[in-house]
Structure 1
Amino acid sequence: MLVVTPTVQLTCKLALNSFASVSVNGLSHITSALENVQQTGLLTLANHISTLDDPMAWGVLPTKYFLRSHTARWTLGASDIMFTNPLFSTFFRSGQVLETVRGNGIYQPSVDAAIEKLNRGNWVHLFCEGKVNQPDTYLQENGLTRLPRFKWGVGRVLTEVSKLPPIIPIWLSGFERLMPEGRPFPYKYLPRPGQHLSVTFGEPLDLRELEALRASDATPEQLRIRITSIVHDAVEALGHSVSGPLLTRTP
């Protein structure tokens, strides 16, 4: 981690400054949380629109956060994409990615580890859709574009963590144009330069509703469902505030 994470993040910062333009909003929300992360932990949640969302989006952070082990994010990564050979496995583990097996449900080591990391005062980031969903595939209901549903892993994390951490929603725009899905080899591995990107950090969620739910007599399954719905709606609402009801406006 001492080499991989800073190197990757500094490369992403250089790349963002070299071949894309980036709008950053609400940066103070996450930097304030990172200054206190060892005492509180931190959970961030974002829409997932390209294979470059992580780590590219973190290139907007001030450099000092790349160089501190306690302010480097942990995240979950798909076993069938990131851990397909010994070289990839070593690289991604060194980059603080927790191997996650799709289809193995919410009771698996990576989710256990995410809970442990939060309990120990680390930053954990989740793409709760569980896969890349580009905006042109989103469904519409009554003139409102809906963010795809979240997997229940986040509900388990927030049900079982010892104390709720600050939770910051994030909305990403433009990354789907930087790295579109569905292109043939070798173009699918090549970013498209000249794109305008946007990273918006929302205000930390008001935790009172989640705390009340955790203190209720709801079953674990009921808690997971309700908590997942709350955080999904927070990320979706941030998206609508940034990109409009159809999630198409470029900030």
Structure 2
Amino acid sequence: MGRKMEWAARADHMKGVPRKMLIMAVGAFAKVVANFLNTTSVHNADTLINLVQSRPQGVPLISVSNHMSTLDDPVMWGFRGFPTMDAELARWVLAAEDICFKNSILSYFFRVGKCIPITRGGGIYQEHMNEALERLSDGAWSSINVTMQGTEMWKLKLHTFPEGKVSQEDAPIRQLKWGTASLIVRAPVTPIVLPIVHRGFEEVISFPKTKNLVYL
């Protein structure tokens, strides 16, 4: 099976205008939810910001976190000081194909938003895992008969939810799936891996304000 709507995820799709508009809109939404509808406290935020903006050239970044709600991403990036609305610095994220890519409209939306569809249970060598590896490998967008240069690898950031599903239990992270480990091992350049733990996102947008905690 080929890669779903890969053309919409290219940096030069319609000169990058749809991506910039979408990232700005979603980023603004994340800022409002994280800072105005809720109260968010972030520990070691400088670590994430520095790695996203100025890590060593040629070194990719993988961030991993627990998964408490469907709003974890993008709201977890909406804290004050983070460049949430910068399309070039925005993360790539692995997204469940059966939820985020149900039809053409959703597929286009999430593809433009730098999401890579993953088939849960499809194994670590499924086609879209190879696409995620490419985002970490050389900064190029590659597919059959097409090779288009993207951003430099040091600008690439991939976020994963290695538990593989939403879990709202107030307990340690469960056994992790193999996909994230396979990306780390298979990447030609060993990526920086940043673990993130957050709490409170299962009650986001609740009233009175929820206090969300993010630890980096």
2:44 to 26, 47, 50: 26
TM-score (normalised: structure 2):
0.78
Give structure 1 stretches of 5+ with no counterpart.
Answer: 137-144, 179-190, 202-251
Alignment of 1:223-238 (within 5 A): none
CA contact (8 A) 1:23 1:198 kept: yes
Deviations 1:28-78 (A, max 9, x none): 111111123553111100011111111110111535453251x11001111
Alignment of 1:42-57 (within 5 A): 42-57=61-76
Q: Distance in 2 between matches of 1:91 and 1:8?
A: 11
CA contact (8 A) 2:30 2:78 kept: yes
* Partner SS state of residue 113, structure 1: helix
Q: 1:163 to 1:61 in 2, by over 3 A?
A: farther
2:81 equivalent in structure 1: 62
The structure richer in helix per residue is: 1
TM-score (normalised: structure 1):
0.68
CA contact (8 A) 1:115 1:161 kept: yes
Deviations 1:112-134 (A, max 9, x none): 12211112221000000010011
2:210 equivalent in structure 1: 195
Q: Distance in 2 between matches of 1:124 and 1:198?
A: 21
Q: Distance in 1 between matches of 2:82 and 2:178?
A: 33
- Between 1 and 2, higher relative CO (CA 8 Å, sep ≥ 6) is seen in 2
* Partner SS state of residue 60, structure 1: coil
* Partner SS state of residue 58, structure 2: helix
Deviations 1:161-200 (A, max 9, x none): 011121111011111222xxxxxxxxxxxx4231110111
Q: Distance in 1 between matches of 2:112 and 2:91?
A: 12
2:157 equivalent in structure 1: 123
CA contact (8 A) 2:23 2:113 kept: yes
Query: Pairwise CA RMSD of aligned residues?
Result: 1.6
Give the percent of matched residue pairs that are identical in Structure 1 and Structure 2: 32
1:78 equivalent in structure 2: 96
Deviations 1:85-123 (A, max 9, x none): 111111000111101111111111221122111122210
Give structure 2 stretches of 5+ with no counterpart.
Answer: 1-18, 140-152
1:109 equivalent in structure 2: 127
Q: Which of structures 1 and 2 has the bigger CA Rg?
A: 1
Q: Distance in 1 between matches of 2:31 and 2:198?
A: 16
* Partner SS state of residue 169, structure 1: strand
* Partner SS state of residue 121, structure 2: coil
* Partner SS state of residue 30, structure 2: helix
1:151 to 177, 180, 187: 177
Q: Distance in 1 between matches of 2:22 and 2:127?
A: 22
CA contact (8 A) 2:35 2:78 kept: no
CA contact (8 A) 1:48 1:129 kept: yes
| CA-CA distance at 1:147 after TM superposition | 1.6
Q: 1:41 to 1:108 in 2, by over 3 A?
A: same
Q: 1:65 to 1:53 in 2, by over 3 A?
A: closer
